[in-house]
Chains A and B, each alone.
Chain A
């Protein structure tokens, strides 16, 4: 394994990897739980439309909620059983707020619906993307963006390179590593399918140099193909899509542009494997590999059905060994504390770490910023984190936006290196969500203003129309009066003529 033609990005950190504990055992399949809770919001975009009602019998792989619009993903029954209820349940989300979920009671027969593999070589791209809309596949690296949208390319765009993200740079997480070791063939097949859908000339897999076994497995699977496997140095956050593109190709994606604008598209290894399973085997997205590690008794990777309660996964890993019972979803750099151990496993859940005081000691006391600019040295996006911190802290949100707050990828490198232990990323998250909320309310105010102005204009118009109608009526009445007068004059004249005639007759 050697590092060739690599373009190192600025900054980055190298925290303790802590990956070996969960790679000792192969991926195990978690048993079907007593109930499955499937949130309707597991992806970026619109909430899926429910297609079933309580009491319905469903088969494994049957669609139970359909993608609503383009940016949305379908949800499928992970096993056969009965729909128990559609209700609000706590989600694995930092807010800990409930949202709508479908609950399935499995019948433990695990009966598949008829699998329909798609002969992807024979049908055209539009049909293929339409079919993938039904697959429920979203980006499994953690961004959970609907995959079919990433395959939809505008007519004036061409994709020349497909990048497969195998970096998995965050400490503790090993789900992609284990997937590559055990299912390298599926990944390479999936990569080739994706490459052909995109019409890309090249396919490059970027993998960090701490995953030797995975590298060997991929190398072997890719032997007779054109897929290139490129090794990148182990440096967090090399798994960020734009950082990986720079590492592999030396191309920096400019601000407010996406990598597709430059002809590059990035997919996670697990996502392309899911594409392979859907097209070749006819299996929609119903499970994923989850790393359970940290203070649990036997850290390991499991293939888990979506909707499985987290508590089942913890028990399968030998149960928790710390007293704190605190669990982190994602990695230690970007993850968040889970609100409960009863939340379901979702498409975004790549890793769960049981936190213990030994692994994650209480944060040291926060001290004032001493303007050492170590955060600026560590920032992989070349921002000025100290400036962003001052503006966010004092809620000068417009200023923070001017200093490119929204380019921050929230990787946590600045917080990691800060000698004053300031939780910098938390400030950026606060400032970002505050700005987003303000923009939304501004938009709502603009709509209200428009609607109010329209209403006033309408009332004015109606008033004018009424006045016109009244004027017309008055005019009509006048005319009628004039006509009446005319008629009566004529009648009088006729009368006179008649009288004259009568008088003449008399004479």
Chain B
């Protein structure tokens, strides 16, 4: 009886040590769930979800504070992927946060630009180039189309231009064909 108790206590201490050691040794920095949610989000950094960027929104979803359907650039497809990851029911995009628009990039009318640098400060991905009292321009390849540069512009010289298909970005379409009733032999 005492022997059995001793063995159990010994085992408990040993396993406790092993668990304690591995908790320190194999500690995961940050929440892996946040990173997985963040990987699904489109990284537009537009803040339409009500959070200051994709990562904060991902953190909020992981904590259960935010819903999965608050990301307009991700659209229904993004909400579906998030629902699958989180194991919850799919909800269509909540239109309070905005609607999904075709991918656009900002364009500065360089004749109107006064060089105030306000848009540079607003850009979440440093995709605007310029200096005080110098003309500004958008680095189109880095622009996520978040529209955050539009409100601060005092002269309204920024417009959003939809990205058009060219011969490089062109995709083969889903095949469409007519299905007919087979004739009797």
Contact = CB atoms under 8 A, between A and B. Distances in A.
Greatest chain A CB density within 10 A among B142, B174, B178 is at B174
Contacts, number: 82
A441 B43 CA distance: 10
Contact of B43 (A367, A437, A445): A445
Interface string A444-464: 111111011111100000000
Interface residues of A, number: 36
Interface string B150-185: 000000000000000111111111110111101000
Contacts of A363: 177
Contacts of B170: 93-95, 97, 433
B127 interface: yes
Nearest to B38: A449
Contacts of A109: none
B60 to A, nearest CB: 16
A437 B124 contact: no
A449 B172 contact: no
Interface string A205-226: 0000000000000000000000
Interface string B30-59: 000000001001111100000001110000
A448 B171 contact: no
Interface size band for B: 20 to 34
Contacts of B175: 423, 426-427, 430
A429 interface: yes
A97 B166 contact: yes
B127 to A, nearest CB: 7
Contacts of A441: 42
Contact of A97 (B38, B126, B165): B165
Interface in A371-426: 395, 423, 426
Contacts of B173: 430
B144 interface: yes
Contact of B171 (A365, A434, A454): A434
Closest 10 CB pairs of A and B: A365-B180, A95-B170, A445-B43, A426-B175, A429-B172, A448-B43, A433-B171, A451-B125, A433-B172, A449-B43
Interface of B: 38, 41-45, 53-55, 124-127, 142, 144, 165-175, 177-180, 182
Given A449-B43, A451-B126, 13 more contacts: A41-B167, A41-B168, A95-B167, A97-B165, A366-B179, A423-B177, A430-B172, A430-B173, A434-B171, A441-B42, A445-B42, A452-B55, A455-B126
